[in-house]
């Protein structure tokens, strides 16, 4: 299967943590990525994790990977209004020429 799935919407209050979840089906995934898309803009690479890692932290971002369950999450600590955007997870498969399969995106809304 080639599906990468995400929930469509998430709403949080400013200062809270946001957790965006993603599931994928292909066990040959080598790297998994999180991209951010602001209105009218292209996608910006936020972070990535190699499939043999469980966790990666980068400032306010924490990526957790459960390879057994094929579940990926992105936690944003101290969420700010500037974090409002669509977040896409994507996976890269072995031998895929770095081609990515994207999820449908999760729209994060940060409320004051």
Considering only residues 46 to 75 of the shown chain, the ones binding other proteins according to CB under 8 A are 48
What is d(CA 82, CA 102) in angstroms, rounded to the nearest whole number? 23
Give Cα 91 to chain centroid, integer Å. 10
87 near other proteins, rule: CB under 8 A: no
Interface with other proteins (CB under 8 A), residue from 18, 24, 76, 88: 88
Complex with other proteins: residue 23 or 104, whichever CB lies closer: 104
Assess 85 for contact with other proteins (CB under 8 A). Answer: no
Element (H, E) at 74: strand 71-76
- Rule CB under 8 A: is residue 105 a binding residue for other proteins? yes
- Distance, in Å, from the CA atom of 24 to the CA atom of 81, rounded to the nearest integer, reads 28
């Amino acid at each position: 299967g080639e599906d990468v799935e995400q929930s469509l919407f998430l709403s949080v209050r400013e200062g809270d943590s946001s957790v965006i979840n993603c599931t994928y089906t292909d066990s040959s995934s080598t790297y998994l990525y999180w991209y951010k898309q602001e209105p009218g803009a292209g996608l910006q690479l936020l972070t990535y994790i190699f499939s043999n890692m469980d966790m990666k932290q980068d400032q306010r971002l924490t990526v957790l990977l459960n390879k057994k369950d094929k579940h990926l999450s992105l936690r944003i600590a101290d969420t700010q209004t500037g974090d409002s955007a669509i977040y896409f997870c994507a996976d890269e498969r072995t031998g895929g020429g770095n081609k990515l399969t994207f999820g449908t995106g999760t729209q994060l809304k940060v409320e004051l």
